């Protein structure tokens, strides 16, 4: 299976008979999504973890796949942004799931808006965190504030770990805005859930921060997607 970095927290996955897009808000420099929409006759699934404009672009509702109707799976907070009801749009709250004969999707919580996704597709177990993270600015926050943020994150992490002990791929925020401990949430995730391939996201194109995390992942025996540009692809 191929995983392509579109931009920010957006990814495209292509299996033998499906294409899955998550948290698209803008196209990659090489227009990988546009080109594939014009060419591919596979089933298309488009997921959005929440309504923040860096994770959801309403233009995706106009996408048409050559293989038939596109199926949309959205966090329930996006409902008010969908202008008309459609049998091809599903809204999920944490704990909800949806599946067909190709993919199985379960929504978990977030420490910001919306949900995170656990996806079974193409024989792989795939996790996309959305905005789930240990969001704390320890250098700026009071001890009570960052401890509360960490407690909330670890609670969500335990809910996921109760259902899955390992994943083939985890797409997880590495946001440099958090300061010195920007990678703490990712480290805690890897320590709790065995991850074969860790994929950084939500790093605001600050690629040196992405590169700096590679040794931390590899020291734990975890393969790492060390992005250098949008449109880059890894096999898993």
Q: What pLDDT was estimated at residue 68?
A: 79
What is 2-235's CATH number? 3.60.15.10
Contact 29, 4 (CB under 8 A): no
- Tell me the pairing of strands 43-48 and 18-22: parallel
- Residue 232, pLDDT score: 97
Average pLDDT over residues 6-20: 97
Task: Write down the residue that tokens 């199926």 correspond to.
Answer: 71
Angstrom distance (rounded) from CA 131 to CA 30: 26
Question: What is residue 217's predicted lDDT score, i.e. its pLDDT?
Answer: 96
How sure is the predictor about 19, in pLDDT bands with cuts at 50, 70 and 90? very high
Domain range annotation of the chain: 2-235
pLDDT in tens, 111-146: 999 999 999 999 999 999 999 999 987 777 788 887
The model's pLDDT over 169-204, given as tens digits with 9 standing for 90+, comes to 999 999 999 988 899 999 999 999 999 999 999 999
List, for residues 211-227, the tens digit of each pLDDT value: 999 999 999 999 999 99
In contact, 153 and 132? CB cutoff 8 Å: yes
Query: DSSP state, 179?
Result: G
> What is the residue whose two structure tokens read 């692809």?
233
% of the chain with per-residue pLDDT over 70: 100
Closest CA to 195 of 229, 230, 165: 165
- Give pTM, 2 decimals: 0.96
For residue 49, is pLDDT > 80?
yes
In angstroms, what CA-CA distances link 57 with 29, 51, 182? Answer: 17, 8, 26
């Amino acid at each position: 299976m191929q995983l392509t970095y579109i931009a920010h927290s957006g990814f495209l996955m292509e299996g033998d008979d499906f294409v899955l897009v998550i948290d698209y808000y803008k196209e990659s420099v090489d227009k990988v999504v546009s080109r594939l929409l014009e060419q591919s006759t596979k089933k298309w699934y488009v997921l959005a973890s929440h309504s923040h404009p860096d994770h959801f672009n309403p233009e995706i509702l106009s996408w048409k796949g050559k293989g038939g109707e596109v199926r949309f799976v959205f966090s329930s907070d996006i409902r008010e942004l969908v202008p008309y009801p459609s049998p091809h749009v599903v809204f999920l709250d944490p704990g909800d799931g949806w599946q067909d004969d190709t993919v199985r999707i379960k929504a978990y919580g977030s420490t910001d808006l919306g949900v995170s996704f656990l996806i079974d597709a193409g024989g792989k177990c795939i996790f996309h965190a959305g905005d789930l993270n240990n969001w704390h600015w320890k250098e700026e926050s009071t001890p009570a504030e960052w401890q509360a943020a960490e407690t909330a994150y670890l609670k969500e992490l335990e809910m996921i770990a109760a259902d899955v002990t390992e994943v083939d791929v985890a797409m997880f925020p590495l946001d440099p805005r958090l300061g010195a401990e920007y990678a703490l949430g990712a480290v805690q995730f890897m320590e709790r859930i065995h991850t074969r391939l860790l994929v950084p996201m939500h790093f605001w194109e600050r690629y040196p921060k992405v590169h700096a995390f590679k040794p931390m992942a590899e020291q734990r025996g975890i393969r790492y997607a060390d992005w250098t540009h949008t449109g880059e692809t890894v096999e898993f």
